[in-house]
Structure 1
């Protein structure tokens, strides 16, 4: 059986962020591993950067993984903010339902819509 080489594609001191990145890759169907989730206590005895939680993928998935990670963590590439047509609440583009009145974002709306939106 052939050994698959693994490469580190993400490392961060925040274990929740590393877990989020792992979930993004797993949701895209990419096998990945979380490593060093409990090494924080060894910082000082071991090099700090080697103790951070890390996400690893097979080497042949590295480019796709890095693109997915950049897309997930770069808010500039997200959907623009919008205004709810039901109640006029201003919402972050990450939300597709108004938190105030539970009205969904209109289909195809990519930015402000509804009463009070800039023309």
Structure 2
């Protein structure tokens, strides 16, 4: 069985796009989450969350606003812009397509390994 070759730059792009997609999904559901909570939920560093949020804001996909009802005036609400909502939808569709293709490859690999294991088990008897 030959390993599937992946381009390192494509893998990085996929990881970054995956994080952006997950981040925007979380923000759409809970725009009031702190960066620390986003970091915890995404399993990435606080610095990386900050970097991603700033990048999304610079692209015009996320808007940072002060959370006026908060007693801590440093709290922000991260609102998806209309362009951000459109991008999130497109990213979600690509992410889903990529994950489904990955799932199909894994199913094929599992089936092959099961067949190989069955042959080895028959030969051992």
> TM (normalized to structure 1)?
0.28
> TM (normalized to structure 2)?
0.27
Q: Which has the higher helix share?
A: 2
Structure with bigger gyration radius: 2
